[in-house]
Amino acid sequence: MSSFDLVIVGSGPGGYVAAVRASQLGMRVAIVEEDRLGGVCLNWGCIPTKAILKAAEQFDAVRKGEVPGLKVSGIEADYGSVIDASRKAADRLNRGVGVLMKKGQIEVVQGRGTLTGNGGVSVKTPEGERQLQGAKILLATGSTELILPGVEVDGVRVLTSREALESRVMPRSLVVVGGGAVGLEFAYSYAAYGSEVTVIEMADQILPGFDSDVAQALASSFSKRKIKIRTKTAYRAVERSGDGVTVTVEGEKGEEQLRAEQILFGVGRRALVEGIGLAEAGVNVERNFIKVGKDYKTSAENVYAIGDCIGAPLLAHKASEEGVAAVEFMAGARKHPLDYGKIPACIYCQPQVASVGLSEAQARAAGHDVRVGKAPFVASGKAVGTGHTEGFVKLVTDAKHGEILGCQIIGADATELIAEATLAMSLEATVHEIAETSHAHPTLAEMVKEAALAAQGRPLNF
Amino acid sequence: MSLSVTMPQMGESVVEGTVERWRVAEGDRVEKDQVLCEVTTDKVDAEIPAPVDGIVSKILVPPGTTVRVGAEIAMIEAGAGAGATKSGGSAEAKPAAAAAKSAPAKSAKPAEQAKPAPTKAGAKPAAEPVGKAAPAKPAAEQSKPAAEQVGVEKSGDGRPLRASPLARRIAEERGLPLDEVAGSGIAGRVTKADVLGHTAEARPEPVAAATAGAPVVMASPGTLGEFLASMRVPQYAPREGDRVIPFTPIRRRIAEHMVVSKIVSPHVGTLSEADLLELVRRRDAIKGEFKRVHGYNLTYLPFLLQATVRGLQEFPRMNSAVVGQSIVERDGIHIGVAVETYRGLVVPVVRDADRLSVTGLAQAIEDLASRARERTLGPDDLQGGTFTVTNPGRHGNLYGFAVINQPQVGILRMGEVKKRAVVVERDGEDAIAIHPMMYLALSYDHRIIDGATGNSFLYAVTQHLQAADFEI
């Protein structure tokens, strides 16, 4: 048996970051991983999809002749090599995590970890069962694709994001079930390569929960890209037939059948809380997520949990923040809990979408005296110069003190621009501070400042 | 000659005051009685005048800071500069006007002699901010000289360094000194939530404050004090959509006083019904003339005050205070009259109420009430009450029991005057008549007043009121 100050189960963006932080704080750390270091994010989520999206964006620009000075004929897609590139990116980062573990003298134990109670973790390694003992245990087991009852994922006709990331074949047509981040990113990529894509979403807008301005802007942009969007439409059933699938959906006009070569489910994720000895160790699970306090303590003594396995939002950076916070709480190095109202969410299709804090509707519902500052990218010199005039920055503020309640951005590099608003919210800067901060010209970030000025009723460039 | 200006005593239970703003700056030349700063305390807003002509050599307390009574808040170089020629010599004779005024009055009262000196303020050389989130600070810092502590964590403009722009904006708008707020944000930064939650939280030493105000009950502070300190107060965490209104200093102190009073005194309530037929006749007969002569309405309150005075004369136990293991029946009858102002409840005192006619009482009440509304009540108007009468308004007020105004032992609350069908005896026969009636609700301190005394007193007051045999 090997003893550690901290045994972490799961090496995703929550677990490995927690391991690094724990090592910095002087803990002796072991991290248990049954698959590959880096978890879903790095291997089967955030990272490989970004490689695919970037390739899709470039291919799309070239195909549409949007690159000035570039004349192309006989353009041909090679989607297989896009998948290869995405795997390379994932592999490289996977090795990077390995290096970080070595640097922090963190012991990586390969295999599935199961709690055995009283600080014990049993790991089924390729070499046999190994017992680890941790003064503290951190569960960071993450989540996996949610598969609807009755759906049989075969990786050929019926896929989730996991299969799609290895599928080298570009279908001629695709039905995407789910108008959230995963569904829309795949919809965009596949459409860019010429696939006929239909997105099915049950809610009355794509990106449920996002600001409706942003959702509408994205929907209209997608429509221009010939992506069909069906909101208020529920998935009912799928049947394999010939060289494709027949998907039964139910919209406002009743049931209807859609034909496509593939169907991709992006309907959410399920926490991995089974078969890891939670009940035996006294760790309570509520609604399929591990129940924790603000300090990430579970119901079992000295057992902590973070990331997707404790609940929404299921985001890599949220898991990382929780990992750091949990370890700091353990070490007594932290007092303030994580502020969940200031965690950004991003979608990496084109135009990109990024959001932090409240949507306009949420802010109004919360009783704020809402003042919106909205700056369109068409007013940005940089956007016009680089041909990215689609979209806007929208600051949702409270009129009284200029408090920034939320920021919604749609457009090129939205996912980078959101950092400014997030920092502002984190520091409780108001529109007054943003409006008085010098922003380099020409940049897209100037539009964040313009939005702040607009919230004050004095935009300078539109 | 350098003189110190101290936080004056501005009410019996007042142990601290908040400097709201300075009207002068260091280096300013001031004339005697020129206003140096504005101060808020328990129940009163006051202006602190310069005790002498001179130059403000040092301001020791930044705006928004709460300090103990007696703490030094500024230094004046008496007679310096042009002022010297005007009235150089008077400086030494009269330090800090307000403080000097209240000192003799204080020592004359046994009730207050028994109070432990505010030791903190006394022992330390300069103003010590109170209500600061002490636990958040390392012990080493607390032991620093107080003057130095005032300067700690301040930026050049006197504001704490670690506070978000939003927190600053909200605090500024609400006049909340940021250095009183414990930061919960990144690296201890003061956030919006801290500012909003600040006044809602229990202050670090509420129990200690209660002990200081009422030493008697806390005869064994090791037990009751610990018990109180161990109590958990359920807290509500404000959510989006809630309206959070931070306590003003006056609200905070009212809240503190009410809690302390309920802890200190076991309240007993007793209720009587007064038939005001005679009183109404009497008042109706003179009220028109009264209004014409005096310019304000003659209410029932001065009548009730006179009836109360008589009751107190007959039952001096009701006009007492508890001091240590003794009951102190107080010399003089000074009746506090609770007045609702837009800023909160204040209780100015009608002094020597036993020497006043109904007209005199009405005059005194009118004077105090109008000055309370105009915020020109002085410290002397608020201290020294021996008993309190409260009239929370005419409508929807059948009766109710008030909280005793410490360190008094009783409070009488008027109900609304309402016509009711009552049974009266006429010519030996019972009959139903319509009379104006009023409930009188007495809360008394059962530590020293038992049921018989309480009831007898209330009965006496009721009888006097009904008899309507007043000295107009």
Q: Which tens digits make up the pLDDT trace of A337-372?
A: 899 999 999 999 999 999 999 999 999 999 999 999
Distance from CA of B235 to the nearest CA of A (A): 17
Given a cut of 90, whether residue B50 has pLDDT beyond it is no
- What is the DSSP code (8-state) at residue B134? G
More confident residue, B33 or B205: B33
Give the per-residue pLDDT at A206.
Answer: 96
Rounded to whole angstroms, the Cα distance separating A260 from A246 reads 7
Rounded to whole angstroms, the Cα distance separating B52 from B49 reads 9
Give the per-residue pLDDT at A431.
Answer: 95
Facing residue for B241 by CB, picked from A366, A401, A427: A366
Given a cut of 80, whether residue B86 has pLDDT beyond it is no
Task: Using DSSP, state whether B194 is helix, strand or coil.
Answer: helix
How big is the A-B interface in CB pairs under 8 Å?
40
Token pair listed for B53: 């002509």
Rounded to whole angstroms, the Cα distance separating B318 from A379 reads 78
Rounded to whole angstroms, the Cα distance separating A441 from A438 reads 9
Given a cut of 90, whether residue A81 has pLDDT beyond it is yes
Give the per-residue pLDDT at B150.
Answer: 34
Query: pLDDT tens across A88-102, in order?
Result: 999 999 999 999 999
- Interface contact B164-A365, CB threshold 8 A: no
- Interface contact A366-B184, CB threshold 8 A: no
Given a cut of 70, whether residue B144 has pLDDT beyond it is no
Task: Using DSSP, state whether B60 is helix, strand or coil.
Answer: coil
Rounded to whole angstroms, the Cα distance separating A46 from A42 reads 6
Q: What is the number of H-type helices and E-type strands within chain A?
A: 14, 24
Give the per-residue pLDDT at A239.
Answer: 94
Do B309 and B96 form a contact (C-beta atoms < 8 A)? no
Give the per-residue pLDDT at B11.
Answer: 63
Facing residue for B169 by CB, picked from A366, A401, A426: A401
Cβ neighbours of A427 in B, within 8 Å: 164-165, 186, 189
Do A442 and A355 form a contact (C-beta atoms < 8 A)? no
- Interface contact A429-B166, CB threshold 8 A: yes
Query: pLDDT tens across B225-270, in order?
Result: 777 777 777 888 888 888 888 888 778 888 888 999 999 999 999 9
Q: Does B161 touch chain A (CB under 8 A)?
A: no
Q: Strands, E, within A140-233: which ranges?
A: 143-145, 158-160, 173-177, 196-200, 228-230
Give the per-residue pLDDT at B148.
Answer: 34
Asked whether the bond before B407 is cis by omega within 30 degrees of 0, the reply is yes
More confident residue, A378 or B198: A378
Give the per-residue pLDDT at B375.
Answer: 77
Taking CA–CA distances from A365, the nearest residue in chain B reads B241
Taking CA–CA distances from B173, the nearest residue in chain A reads A401
Give me the mean pLDDT over the B31-35 stretch: 85
Given a cut of 90, whether residue B204 has pLDDT beyond it is no
Do B36 and B48 form a contact (C-beta atoms < 8 A)? yes
More confident residue, B153 or A349: A349
Give the per-residue pLDDT at B26.
Answer: 87
Predicted-complex ipTM score: 0.72
Facing residue for B166 by CB, picked from A366, A367, A430: A430
Facing residue for A367 by CB, picked from B164, B166, B240: B240
Given a cut of 80, whether residue B472 has pLDDT beyond it is yes
**Short-list A425, A400, A420, CA closest to A409:** A420
Cβ of A302: how many Cβ atoms within 10 Å?
Answer: 16
Give me the mean pLDDT over the A148-162 stretch: 94
**Active-site residue, B450 included:** yes
Give the per-residue pLDDT at B161.
Answer: 59
Name residue, tokens 């959906």: A249
- On the 0-12 / 13-18 / 19+ scale of CB atoms within 10 A, A72 is exposed
Given a cut of 60, whether residue B91 has pLDDT beyond it is no
- What is the DSSP code (8-state) at residue B95? S
- Interface contact B170-A335, CB threshold 8 A: no
- Interface contact A366-B240, CB threshold 8 A: yes
Give me the mean pLDDT over the A274-289 stretch: 94
Give the per-residue pLDDT at B140.
Answer: 39
Report field, pTM of the whole predicted structure over 0.90: no
- On the 0-12 / 13-18 / 19+ scale of CB atoms within 10 A, A11 is buried
Do A300 and A279 form a contact (C-beta atoms < 8 A)? no
Give the per-residue pLDDT at B427.
Answer: 86
Give the per-residue pLDDT at B160.
Answer: 43
Give me the mean pLDDT over the A276-281 stretch: 94
Rounded to whole angstroms, the Cα distance separating B49 from B379 reads 13
Give the per-residue pLDDT at B238.
Answer: 83
Task: Using DSSP, state whether A235 is helix, strand or coil.
Answer: strand
Given a cut of 90, whether residue A17 has pLDDT beyond it is yes
Facing residue for A401 by CB, picked from B166, B186, B240: B166
Give the per-residue pLDDT at B232.
Answer: 79
Cβ neighbours of A426 in B, within 8 Å: 186
Rounded to whole angstroms, the Cα distance separating A134 from A205 reads 46
A235 DSSP β-pair partners: A249
Q: Which residues contact A422 (CB under 8 A, 6 or more apart)?
A: A342, A344, A356, A407
Taking CA–CA distances from B239, the nearest residue in chain A reads A366
Taking CA–CA distances from B192, the nearest residue in chain A reads A428
Rounded to whole angstroms, the Cα distance separating B153 from B188 reads 12
Give me the mean pLDDT over the B406-419 stretch: 93
Cβ neighbours of A366 in B, within 8 Å: 240-241
Do A362 and A420 form a contact (C-beta atoms < 8 A)? no
B8: pLDDT confidence band, cut at 50, 70 and 90? confident
Give me the mean pLDDT over the B170-199 stretch: 81
Rounded to whole angstroms, the Cα distance separating A450 from A439 reads 10
Rounded to whole angstroms, the Cα distance separating A292 from A329 reads 13
User: A299-313, B41-55, B88-102 — which is least confidently predicted?
Assistant: B88-102
Given a cut of 70, whether residue B126 has pLDDT beyond it is no
Task: Using DSSP, state whether B432 is helix, strand or coil.
Answer: strand
Give the per-residue pLDDT at B43.
Answer: 61
Give the per-residue pLDDT at B276.
Answer: 94
Distance from CA of A208 to the nearest CA of B (A): 21
More confident residue, A411 or B112: A411
Name residue, tokens 């006394």: B122
Pairing of strands A158-160, A262-265: parallel
Q: Does B421 touch chain A (CB under 8 A)?
A: no
> If you average pLDDT over every residue of chain B, what do you get?
77
The residue annotated as part of the active site, out of B53, B450, B464, B469, is B450
Interface-testing mutation among A401, A422, A426, with chain B (most B C-beta atoms within 10 A): A401
Do B350 and B339 form a contact (C-beta atoms < 8 A)? no
- Interface contact B186-A336, CB threshold 8 A: yes
Distance from CA of A322 to the nearest CA of B (A): 15
B208: pLDDT confidence band, cut at 50, 70 and 90? very low
Give the per-residue pLDDT at B95.
Answer: 36
Read off φ and ψ for residue B96, nearest 5 degrees. Answer: 20, 85
Q: Strands, E, within A252-391: which ranges?
A: 254-260, 262-265, 269-271, 285-286, 289-290, 303-305, 345-347, 352-357, 370-376
Strand (E) or helix (H) holding A410: strand A403-411
Angle, helices B206-213/B249-264, rounded to nearest 10 degrees: 70
Rounded to whole angstroms, the Cα distance separating B415 from B437 reads 9
- On the 0-12 / 13-18 / 19+ scale of CB atoms within 10 A, B193 is middle
Query: pLDDT tens across B289-320, in order?
Result: 999 999 889 999 999 999 999 999 999 999 99
Q: Does B185 touch chain A (CB under 8 A)?
A: yes
B42: pLDDT confidence band, cut at 50, 70 and 90? low
Give me the mean pLDDT over the B47-65 stretch: 85
Do A394 and A409 form a contact (C-beta atoms < 8 A)? yes
Do B131 and B43 form a contact (C-beta atoms < 8 A)? no
Per-residue burial over B138-154, b = 16 or more CB atoms within 10 Å of its CB, e = otherwise: eeeeeeeebbebbeebe
Task: Using DSSP, state whether A83 is helix, strand or coil.
Answer: helix
More confident residue, B185 or A56: A56
Name residue, tokens 């670090």: B204
Give the per-residue pLDDT at B41.
Answer: 73
Rounded to whole angstroms, the Cα distance separating A73 from B419 reads 101
Give me the mean pLDDT over the B204-220 stretch: 38
DSSP states along B389-427: EE---STT-S---PPP-TT-SEEEEE---EEEEEEEEET
Do A348 and A46 form a contact (C-beta atoms < 8 A)? no
Active site residues of A: 441
Given a cut of 50, whether residue A323 has pLDDT beyond it is yes
More confident residue, B340 or B194: B194
B429 DSSP β-pair partners: B426
Q: Does B169 touch chain A (CB under 8 A)?
A: yes
Give the per-residue pLDDT at B199.
Answer: 57
Q: What percentage of chain B reaches a pLDDT higher than 90?
A: 32
B388 DSSP β-pair partners: B336, B411
Given a cut of 90, whether residue A429 has pLDDT beyond it is yes
User: A100-104, B49-53, B76-80 — which is least confidently predicted?
Assistant: B76-80
B388: pLDDT confidence band, cut at 50, 70 and 90? very high
Interface-testing mutation among B172, B240, B242, with chain A (most A C-beta atoms within 10 A): B240
Facing residue for B167 by CB, picked from A336, A366, A428: A428
CA atoms within 13 A on the CB side of A70: 12
Per-residue burial over A170-190, b = 16 or more CB atoms within 10 Å of its CB, e = otherwise: bbebbbbbbbbbbbbbbbbbb
Do B412 and B441 form a contact (C-beta atoms < 8 A)? yes
